[in-house]
Structure 1
Amino acid sequence: MEETYLKQLVRARDLLPYKRFVRIFEKTARDLELRGLSVERRQYLRWLAGELKGLPLPDACVVLQTMFGHPASKLLTKMPVQVDVPAPDMDAETIDLSSQCGAARSTAESVAGRNARPIPLNLRELMMSAAEKSRDSAAHAETALGRSALEILESDVVALARSYLSQSPIVMFPKISDLRTQVEGKTRQTRHPDQLRHLSFLNGVLCALLAEASIDLGEHQMVNDHACAAWVHANNIGHVPLAVWARGMQATSAYWNDAPNDALVAISRAEEHHPSGVASARLNSIRARTWSHLGNTERTLQAVRNAQDARANARDDEHDDLAYVGGVFNWDRVREERCASTAVLELIQRQDAELDPAALHCFTNLILAHCNRALTMSHAAPFEQRSTIVEATILSDMATARLFLGDVSGACNTLRPVFSLPGDMRTFPVLHRLRGMRIPLAQIQATRAVHELTEALRDFNAGSTVRALPPGTL
């Protein structure tokens, strides 16, 4: 068996662990007035293994020769392993370090007796290496992030969630994605269970936000990936509200992809977490939208009533850290009423040919009632909590209902604030609702007002930055 002479001498001095070797190497360099000279772990291991094609840098060669009394060319040469490798003279610090490291071994040998069988050199090397890894493992296990680092991340996540509904998804998506990368990076820097749990929660929140943004940008194939990741993070830490929210996003993704049966599966999986209160209200609102896609009037209206009942039965003290995040995760009555109006409108659009005038009048009045309540509550909210995009979807539902009643003038007046939306805030849900106006417009006698509204809708759609995004942009 051959090894570099350096490795044999290092072993003889009990300097094999890197940290012990580099301490003596750096002290020797300082004594030689080569301040700042050191050796990295990887380079040290290459020296021991004899993997260099040439010699180390000249200054390093001087230090090695001073430490071991032999030129670097000999030290890096491989030769048969010697049982008794001569240990060159050591300075005081080296002797002190070696004696400390060998004290326990000397005591054990004296107790065992002179005839004790010595530990093989290769096993001893393995034992020393294992001890060093244990020390490193202990240090790594104790690693924890500073409190301020976590607080800054949490503050950034909360700020994005609370501002999302009032900002362009085109602007928000890169910010959310970048912040998720930061959270994942911090996750690799800690082993503290509480910190890992909190970081997993923040990661799940950001995945849910990415799902929301993907819906707004019309990239529905990507929504399920983000929603599934959010559910995994939530489920791993037993966070029921976030898990239910993520399942709701999966259901939303499914019905936007014209797969309402898949949406019902996602809803049933969400119910495995036994949601209540506001979480149940949101889930029932999504169920109402799903049944409306299937054209089931009875179950749609029942789901709307169930959402209202769940909110009415919510406890006053019901809160959790997802509710604290707020913003897009604050499922308020505005969005609940908006969901109800959209669900009923979907029923009309799918059953228009089958509805008699009385049923049509009943449904449109129901839509207008939900929309009026939603707008009243939205206008009463503080300015920073209002969302022009959410209000645009409400106004679109209201305008479409009026078109089904033949009120073109009322529809145009209702849509005036919608048409003022900037191009990068004309999200897919807004565009989708406006495209739904083609059905009632086709049934109204062609007039100048109808023509002008049709042109305004076409211009609005063409001016959407979201619509102009090519596939795979995000």
Structure 2
Amino acid sequence: MRSEPRTLLAWLCDRDNLTYRRFDEKFNQTGVRLFGHDPSNPTCGEAQFRRWTAGKLIGLPIPESCRILEAMWPEYMAAQLFGPPPKDDSQAPAFDLEERVQMTARNAHDGADATAAASISDNTIDELHDQVVSLARRYHGLPAAKAYEEGDSLRLEVERQRDRTQVPVQQQSLMIFNGQTAALLAVAAFDLGYFPSARTLARTAAVYGEASRFAPLQAFADGTLAYISYHTGDATEAAAKAQRALSYGGLGDVARRRLHSIAARAHAYLGDISSAQRAIQLSEESDRSMRDELHDSVGGEFGFSPERLAMSNSTTALLIGDADQAEAEARRALVLLDQRPQGERSAHVRAGAAADLAHARLLADDVDGAAEALTPVWKVPIEQRNTGIVVRTARIGRYLARPVYHGAQLPKDLREQIEDFTRVSPPYRLGPPVSLLAIAP
């Protein structure tokens, strides 16, 4: 049998059907209304709530807690709330309906006031969206270190705005922005050679994608985790991550194209030539006029352009030893890139495709042709020599170190040029070079 309430506070909670959870929500909302969003606002844990309602408190709580309780029940002072409950009056009605209706109306209005105060302008949401889109679309032209700095500043601003709103639709939007920013930071960390941090940031993006039910973000994050796994020597994990990402619903053609190309690279590294060739074919067949709100609507670094696909498939062809296909795909990447306006041409894609073209020519024992193909690579500014470019040139350097080229001047010159090129690159200056040396077969 339920015991009689020992305090007026307990009696009021029973009357108003306030469980601890409901009391806690109302207590916190009232605190925000009185004191604003302040980390120092008083709180009431469940054990404390039990002491308050059981009459076991000596004296009164802190003044701020008393103010909140008095705002919750304005007809009573704090000292009354911690005093004994009202005595039964058999002549009085069970409750005063008019007073109860008025109290409910007041509480509902107070709750609405607290919610309205805990929101931000929709213009702020739009501005943050535009900043995420801008960074994604400018990424190809920025040094990775600069992109990281901008991304981190944007992440902090999104977090600041998340703390200011309790409106669900705004929280949803800001959660997606958090995930998109984390995804861009993961790419930048990868480009700088910080693989463990890149992996953590990609997982962070995946968590936000899952929490916000935004499948394209989950797929992009898993794709990023896949190529991080590939570049750190775990191609089996890379293939599994890419396949899992492909299982998500709501993906557009661009997303699927990117994931198939990543899977192709992983299969090629594992020596599964038929699976690699099938994945290349699927990456080029993904044309169902399907779009999604990340890879297409935001685009930029979240996109996967035709020239980038050609460059990626060229690298896969190199891994399976198909020099003719590698050269054809690398040439196609360069032609497609030259068809874009000057400001939209990616130095990363140009250098990557040029390096793959050079490597394909080396497989055909055309050292002079390889040297010619490498010309655009040397023009890449130091701060834009990211992991992908460094890995490709390092692979060429190792190929030129084969005994067959010992004593030949041009291979020696190219090796030295590659060493000079990579020595000043951000992944070697800032990141751990051991991981970069361990990934290419």
TM-score by length of 1: 0.67
- Per-residue CA deviations over 1:129-153 (Å, capped at 9, x if unaligned) read x999987654332322112211211
The match for 2:123 among 148, 154, 170 is 148
Residue 448 (str. 1) matches residue 409 (str. 2): yes
The match for 1:303 among 246, 264, 279 is 279
- Per-residue CA deviations over 1:217-274 (Å, capped at 9, x if unaligned) read 1111122211111112112222222221111111111111111111122123213314
In 1, Cα distance between equivalents of 2:145 and 2:291? 33
Residue 175 (str. 1) matches residue 150 (str. 2): yes
- Per-residue CA deviations over 1:191-225 (Å, capped at 9, x if unaligned) read 22221111111111111111111211111112221
Amino acid in the other structure paired with 1:161: A
Amino acid in the other structure paired with 1:223: A
Counterpart secondary structure, 1:278: helix
Query: 1:416 matched to which residue of 2?
Result: 375
Shift of 1:465: 3.3
> Contact conserved, 1:338 with 1:371, CA < 8 A, in 2?
yes
In 2, Cα distance between equivalents of 1:171 and 1:335? 22
> Contact conserved, 2:254 with 2:303, CA < 8 A, in 1?
no
> Structure 1 residues 172, 249: CA separation in 2 closer, same or farther (over 3 Å shift)?
same
- Structure 2 unaligned residues grouped into runs of 5+: 1-26, 28-37, 43-57, 61-73, 77-87, 94-103, 434-441
Deviates more, 1:270-279 or 1:424-433: 270-279
> Structure 1 residues 132, 225: CA separation in 2 closer, same or farther (over 3 Å shift)?
farther
> Structure 1 residues 449, 155: CA separation in 2 closer, same or farther (over 3 Å shift)?
same
Query: 2:308 matched to which residue of 1?
Result: 335
> Contact conserved, 1:364 with 1:401, CA < 8 A, in 2?
yes
Amino acid in the other structure paired with 2:208: H
> Structure 1 residues 147, 179: CA separation in 2 closer, same or farther (over 3 Å shift)?
same
The match for 2:197 among 218, 222, 226 is 222
Query: 2:256 matched to which residue of 1?
Result: 280
> Contact conserved, 2:318 with 2:360, CA < 8 A, in 1?
yes
Residue 426 (str. 1) matches residue 355 (str. 2): no
The match for 1:262 among 222, 227, 237 is 237
Shift of 1:424: 1.0
Amino acid in the other structure paired with 1:290: A
> Structure 1 residues 155, 115: CA separation in 2 closer, same or farther (over 3 Å shift)?
same
Query: 2:177 matched to which residue of 1?
Result: 202
The match for 1:166 among 126, 137, 141 is 141
Residue 463 (str. 1) matches residue 439 (str. 2): no
The match for 1:386 among 327, 335, 345 is 345
TM-score by length of 2: 0.71
- Per-residue CA deviations over 1:60-109 (Å, capped at 9, x if unaligned) read xxxxxxxxxxxxxxxxxxx999xxxxxxxxxxxxxxxxxx968xxxxxxx
In 1, Cα distance between equivalents of 2:188 and 2:108? 45
The match for 1:372 among 331, 343, 359 is 331
In 2, Cα distance between equivalents of 1:278 and 1:432? 25
Task: Kindly tell me the number of residue pairs found equivalent between the two proteins.
Answer: 347
Amino acid in the other structure paired with 1:335: R
Amino acid in the other structure paired with 2:302: F
Amino acid in the other structure paired with 1:419: W
In 2, Cα distance between equivalents of 1:433 and 1:400? 9
Amino acid in the other structure paired with 1:294: L
In 1, Cα distance between equivalents of 2:305 and 2:161? 32
The match for 2:355 among 383, 393, 396 is 396
Deviates more, 1:140-149 or 1:420-429: 140-149
In 2, Cα distance between equivalents of 1:183 and 1:389? 29
Amino acid in the other structure paired with 2:265: R
In 2, Cα distance between equivalents of 1:342 and 1:194? 43
In 2, Cα distance between equivalents of 1:425 and 1:243? 27
> Structure 1 residues 146, 322: CA separation in 2 closer, same or farther (over 3 Å shift)?
farther
Amino acid in the other structure paired with 1:297: I
> Contact conserved, 1:345 with 1:367, CA < 8 A, in 2?
yes
Counterpart secondary structure, 1:323: coil
Point out the structure with max Rg over C-alpha.
Answer: 1
Counterpart secondary structure, 2:365: coil
Shift of 1:445: 5.2
In 2, Cα distance between equivalents of 1:114 and 1:370? 92
In 1, Cα distance between equivalents of 2:332 and 2:349? 13
Query: 1:356 matched to which residue of 2?
Result: none
Amino acid in the other structure paired with 2:113: A
Shift of 1:379: 0.8
> Structure 1 residues 307, 420: CA separation in 2 closer, same or farther (over 3 Å shift)?
same
Shift of 1:305: 0.5
Counterpart secondary structure, 1:437: helix
> Contact conserved, 2:265 with 2:315, CA < 8 A, in 1?
yes
In 2, Cα distance between equivalents of 1:411 and 1:454? 12
Query: 1:90 matched to which residue of 2?
Result: none
> Contact conserved, 1:165 with 1:390, CA < 8 A, in 2?
no
- Per-residue CA deviations over 1:419-448 (Å, capped at 9, x if unaligned) read 122211111111111110134312335322
Amino acid in the other structure paired with 1:280: R
